[in-house]
Each structure stands twice: as structure tokens, then as C-alpha cells.
């Protein structure tokens, strides 16, 4: 049974690569990006196939690592290809040098060429490099953000498979209140890495901010049925997105959305794995308690949830829902885990 699944998974990877090859021949930016998405999935399928073998022969493991890396090279994803290249180097230890050369010889020059081109592109983008190293956009001036967005657009035009750069594009566009560009960048990051729980969670909150009501509603509904099995962060973002959409709804619909949000927050609190997430979800629970009771949430919500630091910089009459929503959209992953 395992061998059959291995063969089927390898076959699915091969079909994805063939579809990607046809798109790459098209040459348009959209076709190349779609090809990159397919090649990322082909790389994941290649890895899954190897993991299905309980005792994978060393040469088979090396061949699989080479195929995975080759997919990511063709996908124009230098960071992903670099990780896979590390697997290639580890997999060749202990194998006959001649056999290794036969498997790796074609990939090596292609990987080195991609690696060199990417390194030069990033080195020629000082604002982008500084942001990537700092892993934050906080404190940037409008001019610095504009420069970084221009540099990022140039790099992504050549390397559209770099998921982390699309995420960075989302963060920059969101900071500039560019809804269309923010949603597009986040959508692309999700397409390249569909199993990333952070991307999926953030898409719920961004949909409520960036999309028309009907489209946002469809996006939230696609997640509602899986809340019972979802991570705490997705529950948090779903709850806050429903609170945001409730503002545009009738009174009856508003209360329905608040109840859906409360249910999601309750699920999330039980699953929170960090203190920061637990406090955020508790704040949302308290906000919803006030809303469902017909009261306006006040700064006391922040104190009661343990968010004293946020309360200390909040204005006395600040809209707590707006404050929390903006914070959740803009804070970095490092801050979310605090």
C-alpha cells in the first residue's frame, strides 16, 4: 500500500511540473506566478512521497531532495531552494561520489545561478535588505516605505516565488492603507504556501478590511466550519473580522455576527499556546460581552485582559474595537507570540 501511495504521489508531482512547464513557456507575469504555485506544490508532493517510504534508500532520498530543490529553482524561489539545497548536501553524505555527481550535476549550476542572481538583487535593494534583517516595518517613514515597496516590486518581478517577500509586500501595503495591494500580496503568499496557518488567519481579518462586504462574507464563511479544528490565532482573527463586518450590518445581523465571534473567541482561548494570544482572545471576549449587552467597550477591557501596556498608550475615549483591529493587522509575528 505504501509503495502505491508513493508512486501516486510522485505521479501527481510530475503532472504539476508538466502544467507548470506549459505556463512558463507562456512567459506572462501571471502565468509565471501560477507556474510557481504549481511548482511549490510539486516540491511538497515530492517530499511527501519520500516520507511515505518507511525505509527510504539513501540514493532515493538524494534523488528526491534534488527533485524538490529543482522544483523550487524553477519556481524562482531562492530562499526555498536554499533550504532544499541543504537537504541535498545532507543527503549525499556517505554515498559514492560518482553516483552523487550523476544525480546532482545538472542541478548544481542552476541553483548557483539562481542563488547569485538573488543575492545581487537583494544587495541592490538597501531598504528591503534592512527591513528583512530587522523583520519589522515599525518606525519607517512614509518615504522609506515607498522606497521599500518599489525595491520589493523589482525583486518580485524576477523572483515571484519568494513567499516571505509577498508577506512583506502585504505588510508594507497595509501600512500605507493600500487595500487592493495588501489583499493581492497576501493572496499570493497564501497561494504559494496554502498550509501556512498565519497566512490563513490573517486573511480573515484583512478580508473584512479590504474586500467588499459580499466577498468578505464568503471568505469568512469558508473558515467558519473548521473553527472547531483550527488554531487559536485563526479563531482570534475570525472573531475580530466578524466584529468588523457587524458594523455594516442590520441590528439583527449584527448580533448574529457578534455571537459567531464570541463562539470563535471561546474556542480560541482554550487552544491558545502563548500568553500573548490568550490575552488578545480574552480582550475580544470582553469586547463581545459589552457589545452583546448593548454597552460600548471601554479601555477597561484592556486592563482586564492583561493588556496594560496597550492601555497605557490608548486615548481615554479611543474606540477599543478599532484599536485592537489595527493592532492585530499590523503587529509582527514576533509580537504576536509574546
Cell numbers given for 136: 519589522
Cell numbers given for 310: 496597550
pLDDT tens-place values along the chain, 338 residues long: 556 777 888 888 899 999 999 999 999 999 999 999 999 999 999 999 888 888 888 898 999 999 999 999 999 999 999 999 999 999 998 899 999 999 999 999 999 999 999 999 999 998 887 776 665 677 778 888 899 999 999 999 999 999 999 999 999 999 899 999 999 999 999 999 999 999 999 999 999 999 999 999 999 999 988 999 999 999 999 999 999 999 888 888 999 999 999 999 999 999 999 999 999 999 999 999 999 999 999 999 999 999 999 999 998 888 999 999 888 887 644 344 43
Residue given cell 487559536 in the structure block = 232
Cell numbers given for 243: 466584529
Q: Give the span between the Cα atoms of 48 and 10, in whole angstroms.
A: 9
Residue given cell 478580508 in the structure block = 207
Q: CA nearest 328: which of 307, 312, 297, 304?
A: 307
Task: Give 55's Cβ-side CA count (13 Å radius).
Answer: 0
Q: Give the span between the Cα atoms of 302 and 147, in whole angstroms.
A: 36
Residue given cell 475615549 in the structure block = 317
Task: Give 9's Cβ-side CA count (13 Å radius).
Answer: 19
Q: CA nearest 245: which of 216, 265, 268?
A: 216
Q: Give the span between the Cα atoms of 257 and 287, in whole angstroms.
A: 13
Cell numbers given for 192: 504559494
Q: CA nearest 137: which of 182, 74, 203?
A: 182
Please say whether the dihedral angle defined by the alpha carbons of residues 167, 173, 176 and 177, taken in this order, is positive or negative.
Answer: negative
Give the CA distances from residue 309 to residues 96, 303, 313, 325, in Å, rounded to whole numbers and listed in that order.
59, 9, 7, 16
As a whole number of Å, the CA-based R_g of the chain is 23
pLDDT of residue 338: 36
Contacts of 171 (CB under 8 A, 6+ apart): 137, 330, 332
Q: Give the span between the Cα atoms of 2 and 146, in whole angstroms.
A: 52
Contacts of 316 (CB under 8 A, 6+ apart): 299
- For 123, the 3-state DSSP assignment is helix
Q: Give the span between the Cα atoms of 110 and 124, in whole angstroms.
A: 21
Do residues 145 and 172 touch, judged by C-beta distance below 8 A?
yes
Q: CA nearest 165: which of 109, 125, 208?
A: 125
Amino acid at each position: 500500500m505504501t509503495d502505491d501511495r508513493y508512486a501516486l504521489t510522485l505521479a501527481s508531482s510530475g503532472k504539476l511540473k508538466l502544467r507548470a512547464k506549459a505556463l512558463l513557456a507562456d512567459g506572462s507575469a501571471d502565468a509565471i506566478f501560477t507556474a510557481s504555485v504549481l511548482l511549490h506544490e510539486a516540491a511538497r508532493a515530492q517530499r511527501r512521497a519520500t516520507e511515505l517510504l518507511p525505509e527510504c534508500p539513501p540514493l532515493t532520498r538524494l534523488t528526491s531532495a534534488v527533485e524538490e530543490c529543482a522544483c523550487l529553482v524553477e519556481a524562482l524561489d531562492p530562499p526555498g531552494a536554499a533550504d532544499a539545497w541543504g537537504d541535498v548536501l545532507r543527503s549525499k553524505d556517505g554515498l559514492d561520489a560518482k553516483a552523487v555527481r550523476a544525480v546532482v550535476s545538472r542541478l548544481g549550476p542552476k541553483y548557483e545561478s539562481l542563488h547569485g542572481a538573488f543575492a545581487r538583487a537583494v544587495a541592490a535593494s538597501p531598504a528591503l535588505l534592512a527591513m528583512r534583517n530587522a523583520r519589522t516595518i515599525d518606525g519607517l517613514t512614509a518615504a522609506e516605505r515607498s522606497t521599500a515597496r518599489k525595491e520589493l516590486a523589482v525583486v518580485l518581478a524576477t523572483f515571484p516565488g519568494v513567499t516571505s517577500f509577498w508577506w512583506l509586500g502585504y505588510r508594507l501595503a497595509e501600512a500605507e492603507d493600500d487595500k487592493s495591494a495588501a489583499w493581492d500580496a497576501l493572496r499570493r503568499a497564501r497561494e504559494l504556501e496554502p498550509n501556512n496557518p498565519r497566512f490563513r488567519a490573517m486573511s480573515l481579518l484583512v478580508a473584512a478590511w479590504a474586500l467588499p462586504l459580499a466577498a468578505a462574507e464568503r471568505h469568512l464563511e469558508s473558515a467558519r466550519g473548521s473553527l472547531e479544528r483550527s488554531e487559536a490565532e485563526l479563531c482570534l482573527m475570525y472573531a475580530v473580522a466578524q466584529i468588523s463586518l457587524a458594523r455594516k450590518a442590520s441590528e439583527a445581523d449584527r448580533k448574529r455576527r457578534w455571537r459567531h465571534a464570541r463562539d470563535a473567541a471561546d474556542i480560541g482561548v482554550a487552544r491558545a499556546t502563548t500568553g500573548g494570544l490568550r490575552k488578545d482572545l480574552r480582550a475580544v471576549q470582553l469586547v463581545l460581552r459589552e457589545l452583546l449587552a448593548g454597552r460600548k467597550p471601554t479601555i477597561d477591557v484592556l486592563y482586564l485582559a492583561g493588556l496594560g501596556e496597550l492601555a497605557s498608550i490608548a486615548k481615554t475615549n479611543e474606540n477599543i474595537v478599532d484599536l485592537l483591529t489595527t493592532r492585530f493587522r499590523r503587529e509582527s509575528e514576533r509580537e504576536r507570540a509574546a
